[in-house]
Each structure stands twice: as C-alpha cells, then as structure tokens.
C-alpha cells in the first residue's frame, strides 16, 4: 500500500520558504552585529560599571570572571565611574554567589566596600539585566558601562537598554584569535537575543 502525503499548496510553500529566508537573514545580520560589537570599546564616564557574572570556584573567581573584574578595576581607576556593580547568582554553589565573589575580589584590590553594589540573584543574562535595571532605578542612576566578554556585550547591552538605561559596552581584553569557536559563540548569542526579542527568555 502506497502512502499518500497531503500536497502543500504552492502559495503556502512559497510563504514558508520566504519566512525561512527572512529568519536566516535576520540571524546572519544579528550574528554580524554581535561580532562587530565584540571589539568596540565604548567606555566613557557613567554612573556605574556593571560586571556581568561568570563562574566562581568556592569563593574564587574563575579566570573569565577575574578578567572581567580586572577590566572593571581599570575603568574604575580611570575614574570613568564612581561605583562598580557585580552580578550573578549562586550557580549551584551552596555558599557563594558570583556577585559576592566579585565584590570580595574588588575590595581586596582597593575598591572601597561602599563603592561596590552587588546583584546576587541573577541566574541568566536576562535575570541579571532585570535586577540591575531595578537596582539602578531605585538609586536614581541612569547610565552604565557594561563589562563582559566581547561575544556577550551586544546582548547584555540590549537587555540593559530595555530597562531604560544608557549603556556603553566595554569588552574585557581577549588575546584569542578570531576563529570558528568565536563564531559559534556569536551564533549562540544571536539565537538567545532573537528568542528574547520575541518574548522567549533563556
């Protein structure tokens, strides 16, 4: 017995193909925008420096988090902002959060405790951006320099801007060469940003 599959109307097939083409073009355009943003340092005077969280190991910052914190320290020492805000939740650690580990590291390197704000709850970029927006709104602060890895700046910046903030991206120094691994990260960020833009938060 031969299986019969329903025929797809040519107009529907054309519409589906067009939708896929538009989606692919939007994805490619977003990926390229992320790649461009990853190398642009927009650091200038602002109300606060926001450090996006990364892994910590039993109270010690991972190499990635330490590099972000060191870059924030440099911006703070240049007097581009009087405060630094560290972000990030526990990530499975029963004792420490990324935000608190960031604060400890900064105070150990000369930043006064009163100059460090901590957001210790966010488990994702979207959650941290939401919490940062609320914290800064309550404090009457309106502008920030966001510090992260280059591939992450575009999405972090857009999410913070959606909270009504004026945001300048400043990627931490990165000695790695431009290769396929970076484009994989750009693509993942593009997917996350597109999903967020249509209301799906990951």
**How confident is the model at residue 91, as a pLDDT?**
79
Domain contains 24: no
Could you identify the residue written with the tokens 């927009």? 42
Domain contains 1: no
Distance CA 112, CA 40 (A): 29
Domain contains 109: yes
Domain contains 194: no
Q: Are 131 and 121 in contact (CB under 8 A)?
A: yes
Token pair, residue 96, equals: 């420490």
Q: pLDDT in tens for each of the 202 residues of the chain?
A: 565 656 666 666 566 666 677 778 888 999 999 999 999 999 999 999 999 999 999 999 999 999 999 999 999 999 999 999 999 998 777 899 999 999 999 999 999 999 999 999 999 999 999 999 999 999 999 999 999 999 999 999 999 999 999 999 999 998 555 677 889 999 999 999 999 988 887 6
CA distances from 35 to 40, 133, 168 (A): 10, 25, 16
Q: Look at the pTM and tell me if it is higher than 0.85.
A: yes
| Number of independent structural domains in the chain | 1
Domain contains 149: yes
Look up the domain containing 45 and give its range. 37-173+181-186
Q: Are 35 and 183 in contact (CB under 8 A)?
A: yes
Domain contains 160: yes
Q: Are 147 and 46 in contact (CB under 8 A)?
A: no
Domain contains 25: no
Q: Which of 83, 57, 52, 82 is nearest to 69 (CA)?
A: 52
């Amino acid at each position: 017995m031969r299986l019969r599959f329903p025929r797809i109307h040519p107009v529907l097939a054309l519409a589906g193909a067009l939708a896929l083409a538009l989606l692919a073009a939007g994805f490619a355009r977003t990926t390229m925008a992320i790649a461009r943003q990853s190398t642009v340092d927009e650091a200038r005077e602002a109300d606060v420096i926001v450090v996006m969280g990364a892994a910590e190991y039993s109270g010690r910052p991972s190499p990635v988090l330490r590099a972000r914190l060191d870059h924030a320290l440099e911006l703070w020492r240049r007097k581009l902002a009087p405060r630094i805000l560290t972000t990030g939740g526990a990530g499975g650690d029963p004792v420490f959060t990324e935000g608190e580990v960031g604060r400890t590291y900064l105070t150990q390197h000369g930043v006064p405790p009163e100059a460090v704000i901590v957001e210790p709850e966010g488990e994702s970029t979207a959650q941290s951006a939401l919490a940062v927006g609320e914290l800064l709104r309550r404090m009457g602060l309106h502008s920030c320099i966001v510090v992260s890895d280059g591939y992450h700046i575009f999405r972090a910046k857009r999410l913070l801007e959606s909270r009504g903030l004026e945001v300048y991206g400043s990627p931490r120094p990165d000695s790695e060469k431009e290769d396929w691994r970076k484009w994989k990260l750009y693509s993942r960020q593009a997917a996350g940003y597109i999903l967020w833009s249509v209301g799906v938060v990951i």
